[in-house]
Amino acid sequence: MGIIEKMRLDGKKGFVTGGARGIGKSTAAAFAEAGADVAIVDIDICEAKKTAEEISAGTGRKVIAVECDCTVPEQVDRMTAVVVSELGGLDFCHNNAGICINAPAEEMTFEQWYKVININLNGIFLTDIAAGKYMLAHGGGSIINTASMSGHIVNVPQPQCAYNASKAGVIQLTKSLAIEWARRNVRVNSISPGYIGTELTLNSDSLKPLISKWNEMAPLGRLGKPEELQSICVYLAGDTSTFTTGADFIVDGAFTCF
């Protein structure tokens, strides 16, 4: 069997949180194209259903939509149970749900701070643990977390201290779980995207004015595309990455190199 065949995900089952749009939608499509059955997990169940139908129609794989607020433990546990029941198991997951609130630190309310930390870090913790418990009891698996280059640098010109702190936390959480579970066949890795041209970024009134500044600073002179994160996630979900755990993959067009 050649390397391309080995990288396929035939027979594997997984879920993607924040999977209805943007990066999550793109990686979910890639997993399905590689042969996996996938659950689109999102708080927006209507959009999740549209995405699931679209990916299933395009790939022929079983793709379901599951509603879940990833900050609520009971909902995360229920979501995991539904995925296992509907898909027949859980081999990988991409924990990707997240938000960003841009506000100067001295003006940021505690409610704003907590909302970002709760979704971006607590939500990743809850989905990691729910998936991890199943994988530990069933022979192993692969967990992929979406961190950010913002876990490595301080973005400018926008003020986003809560986001930066949450993503740095995701990277360290990833490494911690990887160490704890290394000898029990559960791998945990993270990806740290740079600025990615999702629909949210490109259509946001608050973010659109920043794009020209970001592109001016970027070594490649442009935003990344969601599909430019697909291959690393397919690699991490599959069996060719069995010696890869505790790693953070920065995919930022060299933005963090200076």
pLDDT tier, 208 (very low <50, low <70, confident <90, very high otherwise): confident
Q: What is the arithmetic mean of pLDDT over 66-87? A: 98
- Domains, the chain, in order of start with CATH, read 3-246 (3.40.50.720)
Confidence (pLDDT) at 190: 98
Confidence (pLDDT) at 201: 84
Q: Does pTM surpass 0.85?
A: yes
pLDDT tens digits, residue range 13-63?
Answer: 999 999 999 999 999 999 999 999 999 999 999 999 999 999 999 999 999
For residue 67, give the nearest of 86, 42, 49, 47 by alpha carbon.
42
CB 108 within 8 A of CB 162: yes
pLDDT tens digits, residue range 147-200?
Answer: 999 999 999 999 999 999 999 999 999 999 999 999 999 999 999 999 999 987
Q: Minimum mean pLDDT among 2-6, 11-15, 123-127: which range?
A: 2-6
* Active-site residue set: 148, 163, 167
pLDDT tens digits, residue range 223-248?
Answer: 999 999 999 999 999 999 999 999 99
